């Protein structure tokens, strides 16, 4: 469906803003929450691209404390109400966890977007402040997954909880052995994350009875997984596509019922 949307993804560390024109993602901006003063201006610039179009503003959030501020910024910038996935709009796939209402909406949207493209059982690794590794079956049902600290969270903890370990930026190791403290930390975090993802995917494959395709997203996805044979694709804007999918399903349902 050729939809026109302003899509907002409120994460733990930053706000992602996407502009869909005639169903195509034309622009993405990401703003750290430390720059909240810029929200209204960036949203206004994005909305301007949709000027004259029949467009909606749709959002998803894992950071409820910021939702009211987001609504205020959108009202100032676009003069529109925000439609929230999970409140105003249903999730686009069934959720088979023990408490679906407490399952992170971003996790579900990531898997829904991946399944729409793959049309088969798949795993989504979202590498941000936290790392989630989630799975759906061939029927497109969200089965659940795993949550672990992200790379920056691990690096912060090592520095803050020890007396002498420095805070480093994550890099891709080039040697098998860390010859100094910084190299040793990078090796531990980088291969620790990749080893976790491989182990979980193997466990999911055993439970499913087939090997699932693995899609990676999130701010650290390219650094951690780019070029790795385990990963089918790195899709940094997967959550934005999931939000757009939820709105599209909602719109089609309204048209059918109408």
Give DSSP secondary structure letters for the chain: ----EEEEEE-SSEEEEEEEETTEEEEEEEEEGGGGGGHHHHHHHHHHTTTTS--EEEEEES-GGGHHHHHHHHHHHHS-PPEEBTTTB--SS-B-SS-GGGS-HHHHHHHHHHHHHH-S-EEEEEESSEEEEEEE-TT--EEEEEEEE-HHHHHHHHHHTSSSPPP-------SSS-SSHHHHHHHHHHHHHHHHHHHHHHHHHHHHTSPPEEEEESTTHHHHHTT-TT-SEE-TTHHHHHHHHHHHHHHHHHHHH-
Mark whether 126 is an active-site residue.
no
- Please identify which of the residues 106, 126, 134, 220 carries the catalytic annotation: 106
Q: Annotated catalytic sites, by residue?
A: 106
């Amino acid at each position: 469906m050729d939809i026109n949307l302003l899509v907002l993804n409120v994460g733990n560390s930053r706000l992602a803003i996407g502009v869909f024109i005639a169903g195509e993602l034309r622009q993405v901006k990401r703003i750290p929450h430390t720059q909240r003063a810029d929200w209204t201006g960036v949203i206004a610039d994005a909305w301007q691209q949709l000027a004259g179009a029949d467009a909606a503003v749709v959002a998803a959030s894992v950071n409820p404390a910021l939702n009211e501020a987001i609504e205020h910024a959108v009202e100032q910038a676009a003069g529109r109400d925000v439609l929230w996935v999970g409140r105003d709009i249903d999730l686009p796939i069934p959720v088979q966890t023990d408490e679906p209402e407490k399952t992170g909406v971003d996790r579900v949207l990531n898997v829904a977007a991946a399944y729409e493209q793959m049309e088969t059982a798949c795993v989504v690794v979202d590498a941000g402040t936290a790392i989630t590794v989630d799975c759906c079956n061939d029927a497109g049902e969200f089965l659940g997954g795993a949550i672990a600290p992200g790379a920056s969270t691990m690096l912060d903890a090592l520095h803050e909880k020890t007396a002498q370990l420095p805070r480093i930026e994550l890099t891709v190791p080039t040697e098998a052995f860390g010859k100094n403290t910084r190299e040793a930390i990078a090796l531990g975090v980088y291969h620790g994350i990749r080893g976790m993802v491989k182990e979980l995917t193997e466990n999911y494959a055993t439970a499913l009875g087939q090997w699932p395709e693995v899609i990676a997203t999130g701010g650290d996805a390219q650094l951690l997984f780019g070029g790795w044979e385990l990963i089918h694709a790195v899709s940094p804007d997967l959550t934005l596509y999931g939000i757009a999918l939820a709105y599209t399903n909602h719109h089609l349902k309204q048209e059918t019922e109408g």
